[in-house]
Amino acid sequence: MININSLSKEYVMGDNKLLALDNIDLSINEGDFVSIMGSSGSGKSTLMNIIGCLDVPSSGEYHFRDNNVSTLNSNKLAELRNKDIGFVFQNFNLLPRLNAQENVVLPLLYSGKNLKERNQLAIDALESVGLKDRVHHRPNQLSGGQQQRVSIARAIAGSPKLILADEPTGALDSKTGLEIMKILNDLNAKGITIVLVTHEDDIANYGSRIIKMKDGKILEDKKNVNN
Amino acid sequence: MSITDLIYLSQKSLRSNILRSILTSLGIIIGVSSVITMISIGSGARIEVEQQIERFGSNNLIVRSQSSSNRGVSMGANSVNTLTLKDMEALKEELPAIKAIAPRVSLSTQIVANGNNWLATVTGTTNDYFDLGNWKFENGRSFEEEELASGSRVAIIGKTVQKNLFDTDSPIDEVIRINKIPFTVIGLLDAKGGTAWADLDDTVIVPLKTAKQRLVAKKFPGDQIRSMTINVRSSDLLFKTEKDVDTVMRKLHKISANGNPDFVIRNYAQFLNARQESSRVMSILLATVAGISLIVGGIGIMNIMLVTVTERTKEIGVCMSVGAKKRDILLQFLIESLMISLIGGLIGIALGLGVIFGVSEYFKWKMSLDYMSIVLSFVFSSSIGIIFGFYPARKAANLNPIDALRYE
């Protein structure tokens, strides 16, 4: 599903060049649950952004399903993000003015689904994360765990192939964090590929494969025996 | 993403900051209301001028007698009527630019008919009077040559006189008594309506000769007349003819070029020009106000939209991460600024209508609501929203998704 060949990402800041990703090779199969670990500055977020088609590599190749992502323009990237990829962020990133249902509907708006269909999809998604009775609540009326569940609902509403979770439990207490991980686990069990970025070992342990990164390089890539 | 969805999202964010949205559209509100008022004043003046021409005829000069003073001593009441039919004939002969002249004698007197009586102005004149004054007949006819020549007791009455004397709409062949002398009604004039100072329909018109012989023999002895209406062949000859009439009249009355004339020439076009000029100045003033406020309003919209884009950078990143294309972001911010300017436009139209009705009520200034001006205001305000909203919207659309998402 994901094929990355000698991919590098370089940031230029004034006179300094920062090599965020240094000649990375990586492939992820459909149905994998991959945890990417590393300290801050290790390049794990940059890798995640490139996998999520939010950013393009400086050099190297990235194939996502049948697309050579390095060659796509911003519209095609937006389409990929819309149809095939769902994001779950550390701080939820819900739009404060919209209620839970409207937040979940957002990606469906951009994909041009009709009103009836997208409202149904949004309600189904919210129901599947256990928020059926919170559809008309705004983010500030919801707890952190509920907000993260809304953002998961938003990620899965368009039935994506891949979910990218960037420290999804980072802003939550451990009990709520476990609930969120359980939801992600269930989604993986249904066949959705999950790439998780974290620096917590017990969260990373949910993955079937753990990748450790340092200084823009992959340090270690192994099957998770604990899982 | 459909337009209705875009509008829905835009109104959500505008309503979350409703005071700011209204304040932002203030410039547009003032601009649009000025545009509407300006156009109304302009077309009101134009219509008023057209109506005046319709009422009083165009290209007319009116020459009236004026009591003269000789070496500081007033010549007395009898000297008031200094104009004569000879003057009229002389003017016709000397000045080829004159197409026709209608002489006039008049008195204000009691009219009796049908057991009612009514005070009206009686005018003695010729058939030219009807053409020059743009009078039309609702019923009946004008004078026949024979009636004018022989001084027949026939009368043509105005609408007001008819309403006050008769129950019927067709008073033709009825008899009215002017100064106890019976006259047969032969015509009824179309209503012209009132002006601020007179009811034009409160009139009775009889042949000049009849009036001079039977009604005003003492007031206008010999061939004296009260005034004459001179019709000039074309409007470009009007002002030159006014001067020529003055010259000829001075010669006839033996008054030097800088002496006090015993007549006065009124050129109605002068009044109309002044009226048009003052409304033109007013319109230019308002157009300036409108132009400045629309530009300032547009800059205000741009300013606020730039602030909004910055405030919502993270939100833009989120939208991009879930699949918003550049075009979606561009359209959303464009529609937001368009909505601000259209709301401003709507409030401006309402305010402009208020001003128009207020001004025409209080100042009795003729204003005419031009529906084109409303369309124009819509076009104006929406193009300002689009023009000044474009730069901020493009700035939002060109954000890099990663930078936008990371923005705090």
DSSP assignment string, B69-117: EETTEE--GGGG--EEHHHHHHHHHH-TTEEEEEEEEEEEEEEEETTEE
Q: So what's the pLDDT on residue B143? A: 94
Cβ contacts of A89 on chain B, cutoff 8 Å? 405
Cβ contacts of A52 on chain B, cutoff 8 Å? 321
Distance to chain B for A209, nearest Cα, Å: 25
Interchain contact B3–A (C-beta under 8 A): no
Residues contacting residue A191 through CB under 8 Å, at least 6 positions apart: A30, A31
**CA dist., res. A172 & res. A184, Å (int):** 15
Mutate which: A12, A55, A81, A89, vs B, most B CBs within 10 A: A81
Q: So what's the pLDDT on residue B67? A: 66
Residues contacting residue B80 through CB under 8 Å, at least 6 positions apart: B65, B67
Q: So what's the pLDDT on residue B364? A: 72
Q: A178-222: per-residue pLDDT in tens? A: 999 999 999 999 999 999 999 888 899 999 999 999 999 999 998
Contact criterion met (CB < 8 Å) for B321 and A87: yes
What does the pLDDT average to over A113-128?
Answer: 92
Cβ contacts of B2 on chain A, cutoff 8 Å? 112
Mind giving me the DSSP string for B235-258?
GGGHHHHHHHHHHHHHHHHT--TT
**CA dist., res. B199 & res. B178, Å (int):** 19
> Per-residue confidence at B80, pLDDT binned at 50, 70, 90?
low
What does the pLDDT average to over B126-143?
Answer: 90
Cβ contacts of B9 on chain A, cutoff 8 Å? 109
**CA geometry: angle at B160 spanning B166 and B368, to 5°?**
145
What does the pLDDT average to over B184-196?
Answer: 82
> Per-residue confidence at B77, pLDDT binned at 50, 70, 90?
very low
Contact criterion met (CB < 8 Å) for B323 and A83: yes
Domain ranges of chain A: 2-94+159-223
Residue B212 has pLDDT above 50, yes or no: yes
Are the C-beta atoms of B104 and B228 separated by less than 8 Å?
A: yes
Q: Which of B5, B12, B402 sits opposite A49 (nearest CB)?
A: B402
What does the pLDDT average to over B85-110?
Answer: 92
Chain B residue whose CA is closest to A92: B318
**CA dist., res. B380 & res. A97, Å (int):** 31
Are the C-beta atoms of B117 and B140 separated by less than 8 Å?
A: no
Q: Which residues pair with B194 in a beta bridge?
A: B199
Q: B271-286: per-residue pLDDT in tens? A: 777 777 877 887 888 8
Q: Which of A89, A97, A110 sits opposite B323 (nearest CB)?
A: A110
Residue A171 has pLDDT above 60, yes or no: yes
Are the C-beta atoms of B189 and B136 separated by less than 8 Å?
A: yes
Residues contacting residue A175 through CB under 8 Å, at least 6 positions apart: none
> Per-residue confidence at B69, pLDDT binned at 50, 70, 90?
low
Residue B42 has pLDDT above 90, yes or no: no
Q: So what's the pLDDT on residue B16? A: 85
Chain A residue whose CA is closest to B397: A74
What ipTM did this prediction achieve?
0.93
Interchain contact B405–A (C-beta under 8 A): yes
Residue B359 has pLDDT above 50, yes or no: yes
Query: What pTM value is reported for the model?
Result: 0.72
Q: Which of A55, A74, A107 sits opposite B322 (nearest CB)?
A: A107
Interchain contact A167–B (C-beta under 8 A): no
Interchain contact B5–A (C-beta under 8 A): yes
Cα–Cα nearest to A53, from A88, A30, A24, A78: A78
For domain A2-94+159-223, which architecture applies?
Answer: 3-Layer(aba) Sandwich (3.40)
Q: Provide the 3-class DSSP secondary structure of residue B65.
A: strand
- The DSSP output letter for A224 is -
Q: So what's the pLDDT on residue A227? A: 64
Distance to chain B for A78, nearest Cα, Å: 5
Cα–Cα nearest to A162, from A56, A30, A5, A53: A30
Q: B363-384: per-residue pLDDT in tens? A: 777 677 778 888 888 888 899 9
> Per-residue confidence at A141, pLDDT binned at 50, 70, 90?
very high
Distance to chain A for B339, nearest Cα, Å: 18
Interchain contact A74–B (C-beta under 8 A): yes
B residues 264-323 closer than 8 Å to A (CB): 314-315, 317-323
- Give me the residue label for tokens 């060109």: B398
Distance to chain B for A112, nearest Cα, Å: 5
Q: Of A129-143, B17-31, B55-69, which gets the smallest average pLDDT?
A: B55-69
What does the pLDDT average to over B43-63?
Answer: 78
Q: So what's the pLDDT on residue B196? A: 57
- Give me the residue label for tokens 């004039």: B189
Burial of A9 (C-beta count, 10 Å sphere; 0-12/13-18/19+):
buried
Q: Of A46-55, B274-283, B290-299, which gets the smallest average pLDDT?
A: B274-283
- Give me the residue label for tokens 């067709």: B170
Tell me phi and psi for residue B60, to 5 degrees. Answer: -110, 140
**CA dist., res. A148 & res. A137, Å (int):** 13
Contact criterion met (CB < 8 Å) for B12 and A97: yes
Cβ contacts of B326 on chain A, cutoff 8 Å? 74-75, 78
Give just the sign of the alpha carbon dihedral B280, B282, B287, B288: positive
Interchain contact A109–B (C-beta under 8 A): yes
Contact criterion met (CB < 8 Å) for A93 and B321: yes
Q: B251-274: per-residue pLDDT in tens? A: 998 888 888 888 889 887 777 777
